């Protein structure tokens, strides 16, 4: 018999309440996953999104009867290599040698490696990239004009891994917006992301422009993006930082606020 969270909640009410509001509780039912899984029903995906079947990621998914280091528990679903696509539904999945999710390895190399994952993310509420208020408190924008170039810097303060991390289709996007006829269209943009491509049964890392995890005792790290300033920007131009969650293949079928959120705006001086 598999214990439900409600079974544990009879003695651990506060923990169950925190879990019920977490992304773990909706790992199988949240719109981004449900739409994506419906379009590509690989049972392999359910290994992490539904280890307790319809209960999703429940208490016993992480709290086992065998004592294990906390990071090993998290690594089960936050540190793994790209699977060989042809084996996804074979019952015996084969893996390549390129990490698909590399969060735990990033953390182990970071200044925060002496902390446990739960020290930042919580043991039951498990806040993360879907906690927009938390993202906004961690990420910041700065910009300066030098010669004919805008240097826009995105800083992550207190993140113990790269940003974004986790699912490979997550993107931080930096965009310059300009006012035009009552709208603010994008003039130019750049993506902070980890990009891999498939080559037969292998996956190859093409680029990694994300904010790296801080090292050497530092608690913050940054990435600077350059934009041409040869054309003078009109009054009201600004930089916007957004976080994109969903696989581009499925975005049109998912609610806008489950696809992308705005993190920060910074007006550019003329």
Q: List pLDDT tens digits, range 55-94.
A: 789 998 888 755 566 678 899 999 999 999 888 877 789 9
β-strand pairing of 260-267 with 238-244: antiparallel
Nearest to 85 by CA among 206, 207, 196: 196
Domain that holds residue 172: 5-267
User: How far is CA 60 from each of CA 10, 45, 138, 240, 258, rounded to the nearest angstrom?
Assistant: 15, 18, 31, 40, 27
Nearest to 234 by CA among 184, 199, 162, 172: 184
Tens of pLDDT, residue by residue over 183-240, are 999 999 999 999 999 998 899 999 999 999 999 999 999 999 999 988 889 999 999 9
pLDDT for 68: 61
Tens of pLDDT, residue by residue over 204-213, are 999 999 999 9
Provide mean pLDDT across the span 151-178: 96
Whole-angstrom distance, CA of residue 263 vs CA of residue 140: 8
Provide mean pLDDT across the span 39-65: 85
What is the domain count for the chain?
Answer: 1
Provide mean pLDDT across the span 8-23: 93
pLDDT for 66: 59
Nearest to 210 by CA among 197, 219, 222: 222
């Amino acid at each position: 018999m598999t214990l439900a969270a409600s079974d544990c909640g009879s003695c651990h009410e506060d923990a169950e309440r925190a879990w019920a509001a977490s992304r773990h509780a909706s790992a199988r039912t949240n719109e981004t996953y449900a739409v994506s899984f419906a379009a590509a029903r690989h049972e392999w995906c359910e290994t992490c999104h539904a280890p307790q079947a319809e209960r999703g990621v429940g208490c016993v998914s992480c709290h086992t009867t065998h004592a294990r280091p906390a990071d090993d528990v998290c690594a089960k679903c936050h540190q793994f290599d790209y699977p060989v696509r042809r084996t996804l539904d074979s019952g015996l999945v084969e893996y390549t040698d390129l990490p698909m999710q590399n969060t735990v390895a990033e953390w182990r190399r970071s200044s925060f490696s002496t902390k446990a994952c739960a020290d930042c993310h919580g043991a039951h509420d498990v806040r993360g990239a879907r906690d927009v208020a938390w993202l906004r408190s961690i990420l910041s924008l700065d910009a300066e004009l030098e010669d004919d170039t805008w240097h826009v810097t995105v800083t992550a303060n207190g993140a113990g891994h790269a940003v974004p991390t986790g699912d490979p289709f997550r993107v931080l996007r930096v965009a310059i917006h300009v006012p035009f006829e009552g709208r603010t269209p994008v003039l130019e943009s750049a993506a902070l992301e980890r990009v891999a491509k498939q080559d037969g049964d292998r996956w190859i890392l093409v680029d990694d422009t994300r904010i790296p995890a801080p090292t050497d005792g530092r608690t913050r790290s940054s990435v600077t993006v350059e934009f041409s300033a040869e054309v003078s920007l009109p009054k009201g131009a600004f930089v916007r930082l957004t976080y994109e969650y969903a696989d581009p293949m499925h975005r049109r079928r998912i609610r806008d606020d489950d696809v992308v959120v705005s993190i920060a705006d910074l007006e550019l001086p003329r």
